[in-house]
């Protein structure tokens, strides 16, 4: 079970880091789209970036201390559930052009829950 937890944690950490750094630095298209399309402030986008980078760190350290990994995975799942709610409120699931990007948080929520469960079972 630990191997599954490790794979899920590493994949989620890489995705979380790759998504969080541009938001933290307010660089690239994603932070601009979050501000324009979703109506988020620059400060909130940075806060989301900080949370995603922290989740990546927690998932990696959680490979050696499972309680932290479980907490990071649960926190990341809650953050992705919030992203799903924001996409739903913006109507992205009804828009074929935006649906692909909006489905990523759904998949990441499921993977985060799976990581938390497998880390818990690996203890």
Per the structure block, which two tokens stand in for 84? 């799903």
User: What are the sequence ranges of the domains in the chain?
Assistant: 2-122
Torsion angle of C-alpha atoms 63, 66, 70, 71, degrees rounded to 10: -100
Pick from 26, 39, 35, 31: which is nearest to 89 by CA? Answer: 39
pLDDT at 84: 94
* Residue-by-residue pLDDT tens, the chain, 123 positions: 889 999 999 999 999 999 999 999 999 888 888 888 888 899 999 999 999 999 999 999 999 999 999 999 999 999 999 999 998 998 888 888 888 888 999 999 999 999 999 999 988
pLDDT at 39: 85
pLDDT at 22: 94
pLDDT at 38: 83
């Amino acid at each position: 079970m630990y191997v599954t937890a490790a794979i899920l944690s590493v994949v989620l950490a890489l995705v979380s880091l790759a998504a969080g750094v541009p938001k933290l630095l307010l660089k690239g298209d994603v932070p601009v789209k979050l501000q324009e399309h979703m109506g988020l402030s620059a400060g909130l986008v940075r806060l989301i970036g900080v949370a995603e980078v922290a989740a990546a760190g927690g998932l990696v350290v959680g490979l050696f201390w499972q309680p932290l990994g479980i907490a990071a995975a649960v926190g990341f799942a809650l953050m992705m559930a919030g992203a799903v709610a924001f996409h739903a409120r913006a109507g992205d699931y009804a828009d074929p052009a935006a649906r692909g990007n909006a489905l990523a948080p759904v998949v990441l929520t499921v993977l985060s829950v799976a990581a938390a469960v497998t880390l818990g079972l690996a203890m």
